[in-house]
Structure formats: C-alpha cells, structure tokens
A and B are shown apart, each in its own frame.
Chain A
Amino acid sequence: MDDLTREFLIESQEGLDRMERRLTELEMRPQDAGLLGDIFRSVHTIKGATGFLGFKRLEKLAHAGENLLGMLRDGKLQATPKVITGLLQLLDGLRSILKSIEGEGVEGEGEDQALIEQLEGLQAAEAAAGVVSSHGAMAAKAVASAAPPPAAPRPTTPPVVDLPSAGAPTAPPAAAAEVARVRSAVVGSAAESSLRVDVTLLNRMMNLVGELVLTRNQILQATANDPRMTMLSRRLDMVTADLRENVMKARMQPVSNIFSKMPRIVRDLTQVLGRRVRLQVEGQDTELDKSLLEAIKDPLTHAVRNALDHGIEPPEAREAAGKDPEGTLKLRASHEGSHVVIEVSDDGAGIAVDKVRGKAIERGLITAERAAQLSERELLQMIFLPGFSTAAAVTNVSGRGVGMDVVRTNVEKIGGKVEIDSRRGEGTTLRLRIPLTLAIVPALIVRTLGQSFALPQGSLSELVHISPAQAIEWIEGAPLYRLRGQLLPLVFLDRLLTPGGQHMDSTERGNFIAVLDADGRRFGLVVDGLEDPEEIVVKPLSAVLKGIGLYSGATVLGNAELALILDPGAIALKSGITLSACDEGDRAAEESGSVDLNTGAEYLLVEAAGRRAAVPLANVLRIEQLPLARIEYIGCRPVVNFEGQLLPVEDAGGAIEAAVGNSSARVIVVVCREAGRHVGIAVSQVLDVAAGGELLEAGTSQLAGGVTLLKKRVTGVVDLSGVPPLPADWNRMEEALA
C-alpha cells in the first residue's frame, strides 16, 4: 500500500469517527447547521479523495450520501431518526469498504445498491413530506426498527442519546489533545501546534526512558554516600522523573476516544431491546495510556451492553415501578491516585441476589449450605465466575455466559481491578480500576534461594512475618497458615523453584508470607526475605523462558542485579490454588464484620525499644525498612528524604536512638497519613495487625482515650497529631537551635 492510500485511510477513518459522534448529537439537535456542515465535510472529503485514488465503489456510495447530506444541509430535509439511521448505515458501509482496502488493498466485492437506493429513497420520501418510500428492503427494515410513525415528519419520542458535554459544534476539547486529529478541518488551529507521531516511536521512547529510570536508580544507590554527588544525582533524579512523566503524557489519550463510541452502541441497542435510555458521560478528558485504552475498550463495551440488557428495564416495567420510563446510563471516568477509575452505572433493576444464589447452586459453583451463609455482597461477586449468567433468555446482546468473567479477566490482565455494587430496584454500578501505565510497575522485591524476585504490588494484599515459633500447619503435606483465624494455603517459593531440592525446614527459620490475590485466587507465598519496594521496568523474556510459565518478565534492580518478575496467577495455577468465591466472601465478611461489630478500628501492633504501641491501621500508608544512614537530622529532629519529600520521623519510642552507633542497623519507619501530611513513626519491630477493643474507665464507664485492648493487653495508641510539624523555615530553626 502506498503512502497516499495509507494517509487517505487514516484521514477517512478519523472523519468517520467524528461523523459518528456528530450523528448521535444531530439526533438531539436536528436543526444544527454546524453539525450538518461537519458531517457533510467528512463524507465530501472521502468522496474527493476516492476520485484520484480510483476507488469506484467508495465514490459511488459516498456520492449517494453526499446528496442526502446536501439536502439536509440546505434545509430541504429534516434530520429525522429515520434519516439518521440511514446515515449511520452509510457510515457502516463506508467503514467496511475502508476496512477491506486496509486489509486487502482493494475495495472488495460487495453490493451497495440497496443502501444507495435507500439513501436516494430517503431524499425523495422525506422531501415529499415524509412518506415512507418502498425502495429497498433495507429501508423498510430500518424504518421498522427506527420507528416514529410514518406520518410524523418530526420525532415525537424524546431523543435517545444525550451527550451533556457536547456544546457548540466546534471540536470537543478532547480532540485538541489528540495528536492524531491534526489534519481535520475542524481543528484547523490545532494543526500547527501538533503533529502525528508513530506509536512505535513512542514505544521506543518509553523503553529508553525505562532504561534511564534504571540507570538513575543505580546512580542514586551508588552515590548515596558521596556528598559531592548529591546535587548532581538529585538533579538527574528530577530530570528523569520529569522526562518520564512527559513521555508518558505523550502516550496518553483521553477516554473520550472510547466513550465516543458508546452513544452509537447505546442508540442501536436501545432500539433492538426496546429500552429508553439517556446516556450521561462525565470526565471525558481523563487520560489513559494508549495501550491500556485499547485494552479496556472491549470490557467497557461489554459492561455497557450488560447494563442495557440486564440492568435497565423496559419502559413499561419502569413506569410500573414508579420510575422515569427513560433510564439513565452513566459513564464516568476520574483519576484516583495512580489509577483511573471508570464507572458504568445504571438506574435499572439491580442484580437479583436470590437469582444469583439460585444460579450459582444450579451451576454447581457453590453448595446450597454455603450459599445460605453468604451475604448479599458476597453473592454479588459470584457473577464474575466463569460460566455465569442470570439472563433468563440468551439474546444476541448478552447472556451467553461469557459476560462478567471476561470483563474481569481482561481488566486484571492489565493490572486493573473490577468492583460491582448493586441495589435491588435502584441500579448497578460497575467500577473498573485501571493503572495509569503498564511499562513501569511498583513491585516488592523478595529474596529466596539467594536471589531477588519482583512481586507486582497489584496482587499483593499484605505481608506477614512468621517467626520460627509460629508454626505453619500441615494437612497431608499441604502447608497452611492461620491468618486471623482463616486458613490460608501456602506456597513455598524455594520448593516451587527447585523441585526435588534440599530445603531447610521451614520451622527452623523466620519466614515472610506475601499474601497474594491473583484473579480471585488467594494464597500466601513464603519467601526468605524482603527488600525495599521498587518501581521496576518490565522487560520481556525470551520465548524459551516464557515457556516456564512462572515469570511474567525480568527487570534490572537499583543495585544492577537482574530480577525475575513472578506471575502470581501462574504460581497459583501451578500450585493448584483453586479459584473460589469463598475467599472473596471471607474478605467481604471481614470487611463488613469490622463495621458491623464496631469493635473499634484495626491497629498495627508495633514494638519500639521493648515497649508495645498501637498505630491506627487506617492511617498507615506503608512500612519502610531503612538503613540507619537514611535518617538525617534537621536540628535534632530526625527526618527521612523520600525522593525529595521530607518525612518527619517521630522517635518517641527510642528505636533510632537504640540503633545509633551500629552502622549496619536498619530502622523500620511506619509511614502514616495524618490530617493532610505524612509522618513517620520509628519502631524496632512490627508485630501484627489486630482489632482493638474498647476500654472503659472504671467507675465512670467513660471510654478511655489513647489506649486500646490489643491481643488482651492494654496498649497505648500513638498520637499522630502530636507529632510536631516541620518548621516552615529551616534556617530559622537552625538558628534557634544554635
């Protein structure tokens, strides 16, 4: 294919995408001349180019459309839903020809005569005061489904699709941000300030930046003790972070790229299903890495189909239930930390939990006794299991039993998470939580067999240290650990990696359990040691090593050591950890349990210089283990520099003091969030997590503040707000101290 044709294809596809958006908007505002002009131009541009490229079939079809659009633009015709349906069919026709040109280089064999006749019919019929033309079978079919009574030239039904963000007929704000939109006639002014870049070039840049991040990590580690290098390495750190952010930004595309496909899907589906639905879109400007955007396109479409088919009821049913006959489907995208959250919510019937229960028992996914014990929330999670569908009838829209588990699998494949919330009679909300980027992932570095392995943080739910005294329990050779009363299946990483090798008896050494949750499989991975968490750059493995099936890639750590990235899902499969809804249920029960019983919040039990204290778990952000050298002092206040951010460290327990003088000592800092700032608590050991019990003062029966009952021992709660803030002006403080 020559460059000219390729360029023509890209431009035409962009034009058609825009036309699709405009057409659904046109249905709202049939009189809008700007919209009509824009749609006309898209088709006209295609027709213009086909002439000298010699695509006869395309030219003929585009010509028929152009005629119809010309009449609309000149006000000789009304843009009725019927006309719009016809134009959407024209759009599909043009698209399929373009697709065939792209794939095979030729227009392909196809008959457009029926469509052309239909378009001509629309011109004639509409001009003659809206009498339905009998031209072509397709026209008749379109009319039958598109539907206002033939006598009415204007639609009496309220518009099906509503795009609140669509304002004036200028380009949506998203289009300006979209590099690929350069040449469109509408965004003329943006053309000078943006250019089209090949995605492979951006991928290459992302790889190089990843390389730079690695080199930076190594330089930071190597120069940590050299004061002369401090300024230089800090500068390198900043520039690298900046560069990485900008290259990532260049790969970002607004979610409007996929949201804009939804009005059409909603329009078509509502007609097929006989629903009346208003689509609301929010946060279209939210940006996401291009590869991730591609990856969530299918799950999102699936979720929208599900919401229309199973969620929103037919108008009569809604009216009977006292609801607005027109349902609302809401698409919302927003940033939440390092994730983008995409919500698909409907105000439909909600999920019938008893139906879910019945289905789950019928399909053998769960026993009847077990089902009776599960709460509604736990039962809801069952819809993510493979082979689950509550649709009474299999329609061609959804209900083939390949629904939500596919959504979940696809989203989890890119490191995301899916949550569902449903209220009977009020609606369902599906939440997709997507990481911002794929190339660089936060990971925990663990050690086993004297080697480092990277464990993606996404599937890590907690870390447990087991001392030699706390025995792992065994049932017929299967190791288990009692985690807060629940049995957790364990996988020993060393045994897994060296089958048949000699292994230390686990009871003789201290171990760490990384509690993992991979695609609904929950288990504990036993490793020998933990290192710092690191942001790692994922490098692909060669086919031979991929074939082992336990590693998802490799990475270079800050100390220049290579580490294999473990794939928790594959480990679970290989070790025979079963997918079970019970685990989900247990967690939900745990979560809800802590609320229902109201036994007070959970606490992190720590020990500093021999004394125990409790830190409210809700405030704990993370636990860092640092070499003593990382603790610096401003005056006599210990602080830690985390990538340019200063963290005040409270050492009331004397954990740092106790370690001073021992240059190889490491200090554990519990990083907490407190009223908009972060503070660190220096401790010598983190013991456990436990729910606190209330203590009442004898005599007064008043709640005792500042203490809680942890593991049957009265424990003081660390007062985070009591940690004094860092002074605003360092110099003044230094002076004051001097």
Chain B
Amino acid sequence: MSTRSVQHTKKSAGSALVEICSVQIDKNWFGVPIGHILEIVGAVRPRPVPLAPGFVGGLVHYRGDVLTTVNLRQLLDLPPRPGVHDVLVLESGNGSFGLLVDAVGEVLKLSIADFEENPCTLNARRRALFAGSYKLKGRLLAMLDTERLDPLRLAAAQTV
C-alpha cells in the first residue's frame, strides 16, 4: 500500500499542498487528484451498451471521441441512478475514460501531511478502489485510485 500512496502527492515538497477535486456519489464524498482530471463534463446522459461488463456506465461523446465511462455506483454496490450524470474525464495509460459521478463539488487544497493510507479494516473491494484518505475537519475524504478505475484494469480484475 505504501507504494501507491505516494503517487497522489506532490513529491517536490514535503509539506506542500495538493489540489483535490471532491465528487459526490450517493451521500458520500470522494476525492480525485486534480492533476489526473482532463476535463469535467456536466449533465450528460450516457448511452448504455448492451452486453458490456457491469462496471461500464455507458458511452459519452467527448471532443470527437467516444468515451467509455465507469459506473462508480455499481462498483460501490449502490443502486443505479437514472438520469444525467457529471463525468470526470480521466487519463490512463490506455487512453482516456470517463468516471460517472452524481455531482462534482469544490476543489480542496489539502496538505499531504493529512494523508493516511487505507485502514486495514476496510473491505477488500473498496480497498482496491481507494488510495487512502485525507483527514479533514470533522470528516474523512476517501481518495479514489484513478489508475485502478481504468476500464481495462477493472475488466482484468473481474476475470481473475
């Protein structure tokens, strides 16, 4: 776990601030490092793909390309939510993909000193999706591991 926590922090300075975009899924808030986000597209209605793996939230049109989106609700075992979504366009080694969220919140400036790794009590499924969490005033913000959300990796993880 320790190797993964480093990638979400700026390595240049020990106590530097990192910018984290907060996103809402159901009643919970999660964080995504802003450097991983190419663009945020609001209010889209993804086009479902019959026979696609369950985590695929459908297709969206993004700048001339057709993006495959990942349905975080399905991954977190939450009931599906019909209607429009916000999409975070994320970059991965295999091209970009979209992450469907209920809403995008504010951008937080957080100190990496407040970062902590996943607790050992977290269930395995979520441990695979989260990179760790930031301790905020009065609450915790779980960080999403964008690399693990890559559709190709999710597909590979499913077949294993």
Q: Give residues in A with beta carbon < 8 Å to B.
A: 207-208, 210-211, 449, 451, 497-499, 539-545, 547-548, 550-551, 553-556, 560-564
Contact = CB atoms under 8 A, between A and B. Distances in A.
Contacts of B56: 544-545
A449 B66 contact: no
A563 B68 CA distance: 13
B61 A542 contact: no
A544 B152 contact: yes
30 contacts: A210-B64, A451-B50, A497-B50, A497-B51, A539-B64, A539-B65, A539-B66, A541-B66, A542-B94, A542-B95, A542-B152, A544-B53, A544-B56, A544-B154, A544-B155, A545-B56, A545-B68, A548-B49, A550-B51, A551-B49, A553-B66, A554-B59, A556-B66, A561-B47, A562-B59, A562-B60, A562-B66, A564-B47, A564-B49, A564-B59
Interface string B40-63: 000000011111110010011100
A211 B66 CA distance: 12
A546 B62 CA distance: 18
Nearest to B67: A542
Nearest to A550: B51
Contacts of A541: 66, 68
A545 B97 contact: no
A403 to B, nearest CB: 36
A543 B52 contact: no
A548 B52 CA distance: 7
Interface residues of B, number: 23
A211 B64 CA distance: 6
Given A451-B47, A499-B51, A545-B56, 13 more contacts: A211-B64, A451-B50, A498-B50, A543-B151, A543-B152, A544-B53, A544-B68, A544-B152, A544-B155, A545-B49, A555-B66, A556-B61, A564-B59
Contacts of B95: 542
Contact of A543 (B60, B61, B94): B94
A564 B48 CA distance: 10
Contacts, number: 64
Contacts of B67: 542
Nearest to B155: A544
A543 B60 CA distance: 15
A634 B61 CA distance: 40
Nearest to A539: B66
A542 B52 contact: no
A539 B95 CA distance: 14
Contacts of B50: 449, 451, 497-498
Contacts of A211: 64
Contacts of A555: 66
A561 B66 CA distance: 12
B155 A554 contact: no
Nearest to A549: B51
Contact of B66 (A208, A543, A554): A554
Contacts of B48: 451
B64 A208 contact: yes
Nearest to A560: B61
Nearest to A207: B64
3 cross-chain pairs, A with B, having the tightest CB-CB distances, nearest first:
A497-B50, A542-B68, A562-B47
A544 B66 contact: no
Nearest to B65: A539
A545 B52 contact: yes
A554 B56 CA distance: 15
B137 to A, nearest CB: 39
A558 to B, nearest CB: 13
Interface in B125-146: none
A8 to B, nearest CB: 34
A352 B64 CA distance: 52
Given A542-B95, A543-B94, A548 B51 contact: yes
Nearest to A210: B64
A544 B154 CA distance: 9
Contact of B61 (A499, A540, A553, A562): A562
Contacts of A545: 49, 52, 56, 59, 68
Contacts of B66: 539-541, 553-556, 562
Contacts of A208: 64
Contacts of A560: 61
Nearest to A561: B47
B132 to A, nearest CB: 26
